Structure formats: structure tokens, C-alpha cells
Amino acid sequence: VSAPLAGVRAVVFDAFGTLLDVHSALAGCGGELGAAAGPVSRLWRSKQLEYSWLRALMGHHADFWQVTGEALDYALASHGLAATPLRDRLMAGYRRLAAFPEVPDMLGRLRATGLPLAILSNGTPAMLAAALTHAGLDGQFAAVCSIEAAGVYKPHPAVYQLAVDRLGVAAADLAFLSANGWDAHGAAAFGCRAVWVNRADAPAERLPGALAASLPDLAGLPALLGA
Ligand code: LAC
């Protein structure tokens, strides 16, 4: 099919890793971290997600700002940097993330279609508002949905239901875009038409849910919509 998302009634984006580059949180601190910058950033991100899944399974929710801070503390400790004064600056970097370069133009093309655009993210409303404003993406979305309204993290089905409820569009009529393969599969298993933005050219995930398509970045999204 040339336009596998043709006919969808709204387009929902994951935020962190999909629209916003989480590794840009280290901008301005990379020099001080030296060779540890890349490993710290990757461990920070992987622990952040791991803690979100574990808290969901344990039934002990804490918001994504707290989880992000706890993941950073682990990542810094594992590199012998537990007491670094960089800690608070790295956290502040999460409110000043950069959008991936293709995002502004892609959003402009989608807005021209008139389709409602939305975000569905683990982030708290405050984290999302700050990061979207800094990245120049505020005001582009009909709805910015935080999992805080469900009190549990992705990929719990209650999270994807938030988008259905907020937009008033059935799951099968929602396009869902995530650079996190497990998140795309979570949305697909829920019934959305999910696209994996496979920025890292990773192998296919062995998870439930059939993806509608994969893209190397978001530049190809308008074509998938037939826009
Ligand atoms: C989010 C996570 C997946 O933005 O990074 O929901």
C-alpha cells in the first residue's frame, strides 16, 4: 500500500525520543563528562524506561520527573559521579531538549492536512509544556496527553485509551508514531495504526501488535498519510 495510514482521523506522537532528542539533555555538560557522556546518557535513558516499567508492574507509580531523576542518579553512580554538581544541570537539560531536525517541517505539512495532531507521553504535563515550548513546538497540538491522567506508564493499555478519549477517535482510526519500538507495539496491540520511527535502525522487536509501517525518521510521515 502506498499510503498505509490513509484514512486515519488523528495523528498521535510519542514525545521523548520521537519528537525530542533525549540525548540533547547533555548539551553544555558533555565536555565536563568527557568520555562518560555517551555511556551516561544511554544508561540514563535505559534506566528511566526500565524504572517506568518496573513501577507499573509493582503498582508504585511516581511521576516521570521523579523517575527521570532516579534514573540519572543511578547512571551517575554507576560511573563514579554520584555527587557531581552536574546532576541538577542535567535534569534542567530535560526541560530544554532539542526537536529532531525534520520535525518542524513535518508538523507544518501535517497541519496543512487539517488532521488533529496530539502527543501521548510518559512525561508530566510540566515536563511536556517546558520541553515543547523550548523546542518551538508548543501550539501545534490539539491535545498534549500525559500518562499522569492514567497513573500508569506505557505500554499499559489504559495509556493509549487516554488518546482515544481525549481525541474522540477510535483506536483503529488513530495513527501512533513512536521511535520506541516497544511503545509502537504497545499502541499496535491496543488497536492503533502504529508506526515505528526506527531512528537507530534496530532489528524488529519480538512483541505483540502488528505495525502499520516503519520509518527511519519522521520526514516520511506525510507520504504515509497520503498528504
Ligand atoms: C514517552 C517516553 C516513551 O515520551 O519516552 O512517553
Q: What separation in Å is there between the alpha carbon of 123 and the centre of ligand 1?
A: 7
**Which atom of ligand 1 is nearest to 121's Cα?**
6
Q: Which of 12, 13, 14 to mutate to test the pocket of ligand 1 (most atoms within 8 A of CB)?
A: 14
First to last CA, the chain: 14
**Which atom of ligand 1 is nearest to 178's Cα?**
3
Output the pLDDT for position 148: 98
Is-contact 56 156, C-beta < 8 A?
yes
Q: Mean pLDDT in the chain?
A: 96
Q: Residue 1 above 60 pLDDT?
A: no
Output the pLDDT for position 82: 85
Q: Does 180 sit in the ligand 1 pocket, CB within 6 Å?
A: yes
Q: Which residue is associated with the grid cell 497540538?
A: 141
Q: Residue 30 above 80 pLDDT?
A: no
CA distance 169 to 150: 18
Q: What is the DSSP letter of 138?
A: T
The structure's pTM equals 0.96
The share of the chain scoring above pLDDT 70, in percent, equals 99
Catalytic residue among 14, 63, 73, 165: 14
pLDDT digits (tens, 9 = 90+) for 32-66: 888 999 999 999 999 999 999 999 999 999 999 99
The share of the chain scoring above pLDDT 90, in percent, equals 92
How are beta strands 20-21 and 98-99 bridged, if at all? antiparallel
Output the pLDDT for position 121: 98
pLDDT digits (tens, 9 = 90+) for 91-104: 999 999 999 999 99
Q: Which residue has the higher pLDDT, 116 or 32?
A: 116
Q: Which residue is associated with the grid cell 509502537?
A: 184
Q: Does 45 sit in the ligand 1 pocket, CB within 6 Å?
A: no
Q: How confident is the model at residue 154 (pLDDT cuts 50, 70, 90)?
A: very high
The burial of 57, by beta-carbon neighbours within 10 Å (0-12 exposed, 13-18 middle, 19 or more buried), is given as exposed
**Which atom of ligand 1 is nearest to 180's Cα?**
3
Is-contact 182 155, C-beta < 8 A?
yes
Is-contact 222 195, C-beta < 8 A?
no
CA distance 37 to 59: 32
CA distance 99 to 132: 8
